[in-house]
């Protein structure tokens, strides 16, 4: 692991000047720190927009070649704010939301309801009603119970709800069990395997008038949707996991979904219009890691679905994908100030230098939650001191409060140094907490030599304002 600026895992706008001071889109990090304080999430707008349009163009081009349409939905769970919703919408993306809060931000940003999808394995009635009233383009239903709930709520409002049924294909992909969502023993979707849990059988029997014995939960879900006139069955949805670097999982899952689509058509005569392949496109977190290339993955997936549809003997549906991390992850970095430096002797006789920064697990829970690896560098100056084995830690009262597990930093790292962690744009601010009553950092956008605050820094007054005493 070495100094790699410029290049991945840093956003395209990160550079170092002759004196070694890093800048983002032309703004020196010292100016960002002086203007906005640290810690701060810094978002490179040009980089984010470039990734959004690269994904859209790559998929549109590759799918046009096989004669299929495709929509790219930005998965707002990775990070959503009014500005980011507008940027991705400007770049021709739609927005995938997974809660009433995300939905509200997308709508407030001016994204048309028809270009928004609503996900969630336990949507509240309020969330469903908000989505129906906003005319969202799709509600992705996740259980047999929810199918009835959405139908009832749509019926009560006199509308027909466009729904996709989320299915699990048994394909397990991605970096960590908790972020892999299509294996069987987890909460999402309806399995395509014909071995339903007993509780689902009971609900399915109540939900469908036909004898659904032996069918998979996924098939039961599709039949249950078709049985309700208040629902329009738009298609089938499959998301297999996150931070996926091997494209084969997408292809296997897509084939399974196309087979299910064909089986439904054979059974009912209904050939659904759309298949959503979810998100999960992996990025580089460390120097030397290689992100999935949008052109490559789009071509591979398009070729594979074309072959699968031909084998299955059905015309191609319209497709959609839902990248989140791949759009916003590399566009973000977190800027911290070093507070204390402490050499600690470790078991093998080596010394590890603990470098404490002014944030920690409250602004990036991923190292503690998933063991996620990150890359950090001192960005306010260049040093020719020998590198030392360092661990970047936060200021929280917990020894697992690790920001970067292992990284080489210059041996003269000291209090006051600015330290940046790369590729924190996704699931950083969006999973941030107030642990130890630490206010959450601002999100600062940088573009063309200027910066502006997208989300302001929380204050102690914000924290106290919620406390009713
Ligand atoms: N679509 C659906 C239905 C999803 O569940 C997800 C992520 C995405 C799209 C976007 O996945 P992406 O392209 O961002 O990988 N907190 C974890 C990631 C959880 C992802 C959950 N679902 C992390 O920090 O790695």
What is the reported pLDDT for 23?
98
66/205 same-domain check = yes
Ligand 1 proximity of 39 Cβ (cutoff 6 Å): no
Instruction: Determine, yes or no, domain membership for 241.
Output: yes
What is the reported pLDDT for 446?
98
* Half-sphere exposure of residue 426: CA atoms within 13 angstroms, side-chain side: 29
Token pair listed for 220: 């039961």
Instruction: Determine, yes or no, domain membership for 225.
Output: yes
* pLDDT tens figures, 167-185: 999 886 765 555 556 567 8
Q: Ligand 1, residue 244: give the atom nearest the CA.
A: 15
167/19 same-domain check = no
157/238 same-domain check = yes
- Spans of the chain below 50 pLDDT: 196, 209-211
Of the residues 306, 326, 346, the one at which a domain ends: 326
196/307 same-domain check = yes
- Full domain range(s) for residue 203: 46-326
198/299 same-domain check = yes
Residue 194: C-alpha distances to residues 74, 188, 190, 259, 347 (Å): 32, 16, 10, 14, 51
What is the reported pLDDT for 182?
58
Instruction: Determine, yes or no, domain membership for 7.
Output: no
- Work out the angle at residue 291's Cα, subtended by the Cα atoms of residues 286 and 295, and round it to the nearest 5 degrees: 165
184/199 same-domain check = yes
What is the reported pLDDT for 210?
47
Residue 430: give its domain's CATH number.
2.40.37.10
Instruction: Determine, yes or no, domain membership for 2.
Output: no
Sign of CA dihedral 91, 96, 102, 106: positive
Nearest by Cα to 377 from 31, 13, 21: 21
Residue 261: give its domain's CATH number.
3.20.20.10
How far, in Å, is the centroid of ligand 1 from the Cα of 140?
15
Q: What are phi and psi of 117, to 5 degrees?
A: -115, 150
Q: Ligand 1, residue 280: give the atom nearest the CA.
A: 15
Rounded to a whole number of angstroms, the distance between the first and last alpha carbons of the chain is 49
Number of compact structural domains in the chain: 2
Nearest by Cα to 325 from 368, 279, 290, 357: 279
346/207 same-domain check = no
Residue 318: C-alpha distances to residues 60, 250, 258, 262, 270 (Å): 11, 16, 12, 14, 15
Of the residues 291, 326, 361, the one at which a domain ends: 326
* pLDDT tens figures, 257-316: 999 999 999 999 999 999 999 999 999 999 999 999 999 999 999 999 999 999 999 999
Q: Ligand 1, residue 166: give the atom nearest the CA.
A: 3
Residue among 102, 235, 324 to mutate when testing ligand 1 (max atoms within 8 A of CB): 324
Ligand 1 proximity of 233 Cβ (cutoff 6 Å): no
Of the residues 269, 294, 326, the one at which a domain ends: 326
209/293 same-domain check = yes
Beta-bridge partner residues of 402:
393
317/344 same-domain check = no
56/26 same-domain check = no
Helix, coil or strand: residue 432: coil
Look up the pTM and report it.
Answer: 0.95
Ligand 1 proximity of 41 Cβ (cutoff 6 Å): no
161/303 same-domain check = yes
Region of 278 (left: φ > 0; alpha: ψ -120 to 50; beta: rest) is left
Instruction: Determine, yes or no, domain membership for 6.
Output: no
Close Cβ partners of 119 (under 8 Å, ≥ 6 residues apart): 96, 97, 98, 140, 142, 166
Residue among 242, 257, 326, 361 to mutate when testing ligand 1 (max atoms within 8 A of CB): 242
How far does CA 293 lie from the centroid of its chain?
Answer: 17
399/317 same-domain check = no
Residue 191: C-alpha distances to residues 143, 213, 222 (Å): 10, 15, 12
Instruction: Determine, yes or no, domain membership for 5.
Output: no
Helix, coil or strand: residue 161: strand
């Amino acid at each position: 692991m070495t100094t790699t600026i410029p290049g991945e895992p840093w956003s395209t706008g990160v550079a170092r000047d002759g004196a070694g001071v890093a800048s983002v889109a032309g703004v020196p990090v010292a100016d960002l720190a002086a203007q906005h304080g640290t810690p701060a999430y810094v978002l490179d707008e040009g980089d984010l927009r470039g990734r959004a349009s690269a994904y859209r163009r790559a998929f549109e081009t590759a799918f046009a070649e096989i004669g299929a349409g495709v929509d790219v939905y930005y998965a707002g769970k990775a990070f959503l704010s009014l500005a980011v919703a507008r940027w991705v919408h400007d770049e021709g993306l739609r927005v995938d939301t997974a809660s009433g809060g995300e939905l509200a931000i997308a709508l407030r940003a001016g994204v048309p309801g028809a270009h928004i999808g609503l996900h969630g394995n336990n949507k509240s009635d309020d969330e469903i009603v908000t989505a129906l009233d906003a005319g969202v383009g799709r509600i992705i239903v996740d259980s047999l119970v929810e199918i009835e709930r959405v139908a009832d709520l749509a019926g009560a409002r006199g509308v027909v709800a466009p729904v996709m049924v989320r299915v699990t294909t048994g394909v397990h992909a991605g970096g960590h069990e908790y972020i892999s969502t299509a294996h069987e023993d987890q909460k999402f979707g309806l399995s395509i395997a014909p071995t339903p849990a007993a509780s689902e059988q009971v609900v399915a029997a109540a939900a469908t008038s036909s004898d659904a014995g032996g069918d998979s939960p996924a098939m039961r879900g599709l039949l249950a949707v078709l049985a309700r006139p208040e629902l329009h069955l738009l298609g089938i949805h499959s998301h297999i996991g996150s931070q996926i670097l091997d494209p084969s999982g997408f292809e296997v899952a897509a084939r399974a979904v196309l087979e299910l689509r064909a089986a439904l058509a054979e059974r009912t005569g209904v050939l659904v219009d759309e298949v959503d392949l979810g998100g999960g496109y992996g990025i580089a977190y460390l120097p030397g890691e290689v992100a999935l290339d949008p052109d490559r993955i789009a071509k591979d997936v398009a070729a594979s679905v074309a072959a699968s549809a031909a084998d299955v003997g059905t015309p191609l549906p319209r497709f959609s994908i839902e990248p989140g991390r791949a759009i916003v992850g590399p566009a973000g970095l977190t800027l911290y100030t070093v507070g204390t430096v402490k050499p600690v002797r470790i078991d093998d006789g080596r010394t590890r230098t603990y470098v404490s920064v002014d944030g920690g697990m409250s602004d990036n829970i991923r190292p503690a939650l998933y063991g996620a690896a990150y890359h950090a560098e001192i960005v306010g100056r260049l040093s020719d001191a020998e590198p030392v084995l360092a661990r970047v830690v936060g200021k929280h009262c917990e020894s697992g409060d690790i920001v970067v597990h292992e990284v080489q930093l210059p041996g003269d790292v000291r209090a006051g140094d600015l330290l940046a962690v790369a590729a924190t744009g996704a699931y950083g601010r969006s999973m941030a907490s107030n642990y130890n009553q630490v206010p959450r950092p601002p999100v600062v956008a940088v573009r063309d030599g200027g910066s502006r605050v997208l989300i302001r820094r929380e204050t102690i007054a914000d924290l106290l304002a919620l406390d009713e005493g």
